[in-house]
Structure 1
Amino acid sequence: MTPFTEFPAPTHGVDEVVRTLRALGGRWPAGDGVGVFNRVYLTVTEAVGRDVLGGGFADREAAVTLDVLFAERYVAAVRAVDEGGRPPACWRPLFQLRRHPGVRPVQFALSGVNAHIGHDLALAVVDTCRSLGCEPADLEDEFDRVGEVLTGLEERVREELMPGPDLLELADPLTHLVGAWSLERARDAAWAAARGLWALRHLPELRDETAARLDAAVGLVSRCLLTPTR
């Protein structure tokens, strides 16, 4: 069982996250599955950054801390693979199947979003509470606002990466596969998981077991989303 890894308070802002994501994206060819997710995530992070600068968050410090710690989970998974290690279970399917010819771009994108929301966001809420000395309830507005940005992005992913109307009949299994996943449900589950992990913070053995099971469960969904459809 992998212990719950705590991420330290960030020393940089959303602009540095954007630069990191752009640098990562420049390393991968257009068809790379991790690169597909990275482009999607870069769009989200840029949108959150604009919201922060535009006063879209009531608590700017909390919003930046949550966003940066959220991003660090994904970046750490990339670095683990780069260094020959193993990323969290939720990320392994995407890295393992990133070049599979039978997996479509929309599947890569949603698999990454599932891993990042279902697992990383829950842990990032816990990291943020520890960094700021607050409770999950204190972050609910920031969590919901980020969720609104993500929901809009999910619609864009489906519109831009799904096959065109002339291919929908041939892609019927794909339509059913991606239609079965919901970002809203993933967000709700992440919030519940964050609250549970925070409540277990003084019981490290049980917290680690809960985090490991969350990771494995989210990884299973990520793998299902990558079922080859052609």
Structure 2
Amino acid sequence: MARSEYLTTPVDAVVSRMRALDAALPERDGVAVFNRVYLAVTEEVDRCLDSGLFTDPRAAIALDVRFAGRYLAAVDAAGADRRPPACWRPLFQLRRHPGVRPLQFALAGINAHIGHDLALAVVDTCRELDCEPAELEDEFDRVGDLLVALEERIRDELMPGPDLLQIADPLTHLLGSWSLERARDATWSAARALWTLRRFEDVAEEFTERLDAAVGFAGRMLLTPLPD
């Protein structure tokens, strides 16, 4: 069954905004590198929606739009000279650094978006749809699977190679300390914790701030400038 116009429009709007960013940003800009990765994920989510691969399309769309909205809000904040969330600051601060490689930019963006934004997007979506996190788990897993598959692809495309050089390259050792699958598992736990804490606003706010700071610290490590 085809999706209704109501369901189609929000994801299409997200894709259009990301395509506009892709056209406007310099190719080597760190935010542009991540944006291309995220655009590919969002387009794949849209194809999965069209193919009926999500158990609950309405929930998948709500989660996708809430999730993307946090990244786009960070872009808007940086563009208006406001401080984006701590998880995004390293990417915006180092986006033009000549010693940071494209793969680092891509994974730092994924780290910020998965490690922080996705947990909050799950909570936002639960509030919007009046549901529990467990009811979004299938959609969460499907989006996570798409990101894992894409991460493997971009590592292959952006790593320096051949294999012998990969082993010796400092980038291999730096990025070997971070795993998207582990980050995704931690994010699901964080989302469930935030949902449980929603009645205790001060505790939830403190938890969110510390999550944001911790993810930002990991992002700064991922963006360590490296020698050629």
Deviation of 1:164 (Å): 2.5
Is 1:110 aligned with 2:107? yes
Deviation of 1:126 (Å): 0.2
- Percent of aligned pairs sharing the same letter: 67
Partner of 1:150: 147
- Change over 3 Å in CA distance of 1:191–1:79 after alignment to 2: same
Query: Larger % of helix: which?
Result: 2
The answer to whether the Cα contact below 8 Å between 1:77 and 1:88 also exists between their aligned partners in 2 is yes
Distance in 1, Cα, partners of 2:163 & 2:186? 35
- Change over 3 Å in CA distance of 1:166–1:188 after alignment to 2: closer
3-state SS of paired residue (2:226): coil
Partner of 2:70: 73
Partner of 2:57: 60
Number of residue pairs aligned between Structure 1 and Structure 2: 221
Distance in 1, Cα, partners of 2:52 & 2:167? 45
The answer to whether the Cα contact below 8 Å between 2:87 and 2:112 also exists between their aligned partners in 1 is yes
Distance in 2, Cα, partners of 1:110 & 1:171? 20
The structure whose RCO (Cα within 8 Å, separation 6+) is larger is 1
Q: Which shifted more, 168-177 or 33-42?
A: 168-177
Which stretches in structure 2 are left out of the alignment for 5+ residues? 1-6
Deviation of 1:13 (Å): 2.0
Deviation of 1:27 (Å): 1.5
Q: TM-score, normalised by structure 2?
A: 0.94
Is 1:227 aligned with 2:224? yes
3-state SS of paired residue (1:13): helix
Distance in 2, Cα, partners of 1:97 & 1:56? 37
Q: RMSD in angstroms over aligned alpha carbons?
A: 1.5
| Residue identity opposite 1:217 in structure 2 | A
Is 1:191 aligned with 2:188? yes
| Residue identity opposite 1:90 in structure 2 | C
Partner of 2:137: 140
3-state SS of paired residue (1:86): coil
Q: TM-score, normalised by structure 1?
A: 0.93
Partner of 2:4: none
Is 1:202 aligned with 2:199? yes
Partner of 1:6: none
- Change over 3 Å in CA distance of 1:42–1:171 after alignment to 2: farther
The answer to whether the Cα contact below 8 Å between 1:90 and 1:218 also exists between their aligned partners in 2 is yes
Is 1:23 aligned with 2:26? no
The answer to whether the Cα contact below 8 Å between 2:160 and 2:166 also exists between their aligned partners in 1 is no
Distance in 2, Cα, partners of 1:79 & 1:59? 30
- Where does structure 1 differ by over 3 angstroms across 4 or more consecutive aligned residues? none
Deviation of 1:109 (Å): 0.2
Partner of 1:49: 46
Residue-by-residue CA offset, 1:80-130 (whole Å, 9 max, x unaligned): 011110000000000000011111000000000000000000000000000
Distance in 1, Cα, partners of 2:199 & 2:168? 48
3-state SS of paired residue (2:24): coil
Is 1:87 aligned with 2:84? yes
- Change over 3 Å in CA distance of 1:23–1:165 after alignment to 2: same
